Amino acid sequence: MDEVTIGMIGAGTVGGGVYRALKRNGGLLASRAGIRVRLKKIAVKAFDEPRKVAVPESLMTLDWREVVEDPEVQIVVELAGGTTTARQMVLTALRLGKPVVTANKALLSAHGEELFAAAGEHGTNLYYEASVGGGIPIIKSLRDGLIGNRIDCIYGIVNGTCNYILWRMKEEGAEFHQALKEAQRLGYAEAEPSLDVDGHDSLHKIGILASLAYGFWVRPKEICREGIRSVSLADVRFADQLGYTIKLLGVAKRLAGRGVPGEPKTIQAAVYPALVPNHHVLANVADSFNAILVCGDVVGDTLFYGRGAGQDPTASAVLSDIADAARDLKHESPNRVPPFVPHERNGRVAPAAECVSRYYVRLEVLDRPGVLGRVATILGNLGIGISSVIQPGDCPGKTVPLILMMHKAPFAAMAEALEAVGRLEAVKRKPVMYRVELCD
C-alpha cells in the first residue's frame, strides 16, 4: 500500500482530535483511500501546555519550520489558528509545492485569494472542508455536488454558541447574559465571547460559502454583520407569539444576474439575527447544532445538518481532506479540484442599505390615542406598509410595547423611518428592529 507522510501544526482541541482520530481510524482510512497516512511531526507552542489528548513528546517540536520544511513531509495540516503566523506557515508550505489542509476560517476569510493564488502558482492545493460547519461536508457539496446548479440562496446557522444561547432563551426563558454564562460553563463560548456573539465567526464562514456559491471572492468588509447581544427575552417571547423563532443567520442571496455572460451578478452577504417561521426546519435547530440550507435552481432546497464545531466533528472533516490530498498526490493530480474557481469576475456585494426584507419592530410607547397613527404616517411616507400590529396590555398613559410586522422594504428606508419614529415624544426608547426571513 502507498504511504504519505504528514506534518501537523497545532495540538490543541482540533489537532488533538485529529491525532486521536488517526490512531483510532487510520487503518479504516487507509483501507478506503488505498493510502496509509503516517504522522511524522507536530509543531506546538509548548511541550507542557494542557491538552485534552495526550501527544507523545517524541512527535512534538517547537519550530513549525521543522514540520513545513521537512523534505519527508508531503502534506501540511495547519490547525494553529490565527491569521498572521498561520499565513506565513501556509504560504511557506504552498511555495514548497506541498498541499495544505486547514480548518482556519479566519485565515481564509482574510487571505483566501492570496493563498489560493499561491497554490495554483506552485502546482499544489489547499483543502479547507473543516473551515465551515465542522463535520458537515458543506464545502465539497457546494464545490462538487452542486456544481451544476446556480445557487439562489444560502441560509446558515453556522455558529453553535449563538444557536445554543438563543435556544436557551426560547426554551427556558433565560436572559441573554444567563444563557451566555451557561454556554461558557459548558465550553461552547470563550471567556471573551465577542468572536461568536458579535457575529465575527459567522461572517468568516458565510463569506467563504458565498464566495464558492457565486464565483467571486467576498471580502469581510463587504459583509453586513450584526450579533445577538441586543436580542432580549422580550423579543424572543413576542416573536414566539407571532409564530417565529429568532436565529442568528448567515445569509447569501443572489439579488440580480443569473450567470449570463456580461450580466453583472449582485448578491447579498450578511450575518444578523432574524425571525424564522416556527414551522421552518431552521427554526427547530436546537442546542449547539449547525444547519445550512442551500437552494439551487436545479436541485431545489437541500439541508446540511450536524455538529458545527468541536474536537471530533472538525477532526472528521480534517481527515476527509487529508484523504483527498493523499489521493491527489498518489494520482499526481494536485489541482484535480481547485480550491476556488473565480468564474464570476464582475460580481458585487450589495450594501445593506439596498437589501430588501420584511421586518419585526418593537417600540416602547406611551399608551394614548394617536401614537400608532403618527408611527404609521412616518412609515407610509417612506413607502413602508404594516402587515400586523399587536399591543399587549392596556395601561392608559403608561409605557407599553407596540409590536409591528412590516411588509418588504429596503433597509435604508426602514432605518430612516425608525430614526424619525424614535424622535416622537411618545416613543420612550430606541426602536428595536430585526429582519424576517424564510417566510415566502
Cβ-in-10-Å burial (0-12, 13-18, 19+) of 406 comes to: buried
More confident residue, 440 or 336: 336
Among 330, 361, 394, residue at a domain's last position: 330
- What separation in angstroms does the CA of 308 have from each of 162, 194, 315? 12, 18, 11
The answer to whether position 7 is within a domain reads yes
Whether 246 and 324 share a structural domain = no
Helix axes 233-241, 160-172, angle to 10 degrees: 70
pLDDT tens-digit readout, 123-156: 999 999 999 999 999 999 999 999 999 999 999 9
Sign (positive/negative) of CA torsion 331, 335, 340, 343?
negative
Cα angle 32, 37, 40; round to 5: 170
- Tens of pLDDT along 161-188? 999 999 999 999 999 999 999 999 998 9
Residue 157 has pLDDT above 80, yes or no: yes
pLDDT at 259 exceeding the cut of 70: no
Same domain, yes or no: 316 and 305: no
- The rounded mean pLDDT for the chain is 94
Please state the domain count of the chain.
Answer: 3
Q: Sorting pLDDT into bands at 50, 70 and 90, what band is 334?
A: confident
Would you say 406 and 359 are in contact if contact means Cβ atoms under 8 Å apart?
A: yes
Same domain for 80 and 107?
yes
Give 2's pLDDT tier (boundaries 50, 70, 90): very high
| pLDDT of the residue at 263 | 64
Could you tell me if 305 and 316 lie in one domain? Answer: no
The three-point CA angle 379-380-385 to 5° equals 80
Residue 345 lies in a domain: no
Shared-domain flag, residues 241 and 270: yes
Q: Do residues 319 and 298 share a domain?
A: no
Q: How far, in Å, are 14, 305, 367 from residue 372 at the CA level?
A: 54, 42, 10
Catalytic entry in 170, 205, 247, 265:
205
Could you tell me the pLDDT band of residue 257, with boundaries at 50, 70 and 90? low
Residue 29 included in any domain? yes
367 burial via Cβ count (<10 Å: 0-12, 13-18, 19+): middle
Predicted confidence band at 261 (pLDDT cuts at 50, 70, 90)? Answer: low
With respect to residue 59, please indicate whether it lies within any of the assigned structural domains.
Answer: yes
Q: Does residue 260 surpass a pLDDT of 60?
A: no
Q: At residue 264, does pLDDT exceed 90?
A: no
pLDDT above 90: residue 421? yes
Both 153 and 292 in one domain: the answer is: yes
Q: Is residue 426 part of a domain?
A: yes
- Of 308, 202, 317, 217, the C-alpha closest to 267 is 217
Same domain membership, residue 369 and residue 251: no
Quick one: what percent of the chain has pLDDT higher than 70?
A: 98
The torsion angle over the Cα atoms of residues 186, 192, 195 and 199, rounded to 10 degrees, is 80
Mean pLDDT across 189-208 = 96
Cell 457565486 sits on residue: 214
Residues 195 and 211 in one domain: yes
Tell me, what's the pLDDT at 316?
96
End-to-end CA distance of the chain: 54
Note if 205 is an active site residue.
yes
For the segment 209-224, what is each residue's pLDDT rounded down to a tens digit? 999 999 999 999 999 9
The string of DSSP letters for 374-407 reads: HHHHHHHHTT--EEEEE--S--TTSEEEEEEEEE
Q: What's the pTM value of the predicted model, to 2 decimals?
A: 0.94
| Confidence (pLDDT) at 30 | 96
Please give the residue range of the domain that contains residue 420. 352-436
Same domain, yes or no: 279 and 390: no
Over 70: is that where the pLDDT of 262 sits? no
Rounded Cα–Cα distance for residues 438 and 440 (Å): 6
Kindly report, residue by residue over 68-81, the tens digit of the pLDDT: 999 999 999 999 99
- pLDDT tens-digit profile of 345-401? 789 999 999 999 999 999 999 998 999 999 999 999 999 999 999 988 767 768 999
Q: What is the CATH number of the domain that holds 170?
A: 3.30.360.10
Does 338 fall in a domain? no
